[in-house]
Amino acid sequence: MTVGQRLRQGTEMMSNTREIVLIKAAVQSIRKREVFWILSKSQIEHVVQDLPLVPVPFSPRYLRGVGAWQGLVLPVVSLERYFGFKPVQSSTVKRQAIVKTTTCAAPTTITRLLIDVTYDLRIRPSITDCVPVRVANEDLAARGLQGIYEWGADSLLLLPDIMVVASGGAAVGS
């Protein structure tokens, strides 16, 4: 299944855009490949900088706190921590992307969360020249991913299941 098909699968409430967003992950290279999170452009509502965060005591390690945006209190999630990656030492979060999705508990209601963005965020046409990494669908679901793709000789694309993340599903790095 291609990246475009995976992006469309499970996001029926999103628009039919063919653009994607690549967010460079703040993790060490995997198999000498840079790691990127890949999302549908329709999932990204806004990007904010300098948002004050309030820590939440006793929350999972991947939940860095909550932030206020347009009258809403939104959870701030580190995908690197959620998926159990060891972060790059010198990485500093510069901004957050406001991502919209649904949750398992309320599949018809849009939920928003803030995703940490340490490096760059790129919008580009859907990628067709990538190769799926052979991982069983059950293993992907257990990891909270919809897909893993090799792109070129030096990039690895991870497609997180934002619905699972927003639902507080099975996180590796809790």
pLDDT of residue 94: 83
Query: Can you read off the two tokens belonging to residue 5?
Result: 């098909």
pLDDT of residue 2: 55
Residues 6+ apart with CB under 8 A from 50: none
Per DSSP, the three-state class of 7 is helix
**Could you tell me which of 132, 145, 148 has the C-alpha nearest to residue 171?**
145
**Residue pLDDT tens, the chain, 174 long:** 555 555 555 444 444 548 999 999 999 888 889 999 999 999 999 999 989 999 999 999 999 999 999 999 999 999 999 998 877 777 788 899 999 988 877 888 888 999 999 988 899 888 888 888 888 778 787 788 888 999 988 999 999 999 888 888 765 544
pLDDT of residue 4: 52
Rounded to whole angstroms, the Cα distance separating 98 from 95 reads: 10
pLDDT of residue 138: 80
Query: Can you read off the two tokens belonging to residue 138?
Result: 């059950």
Task: Supply the Cα-derived Rg of the chain in whole angstroms.
Answer: 15
What's phi and psi for 82, nearest 5 deg? -55, -45
> Cα 70 to the chain's mean position, in Å?
21
Is this prediction's pTM over 0.85? no
pLDDT of residue 17: 45
Q: What is the DSSP letter of 27?
A: B
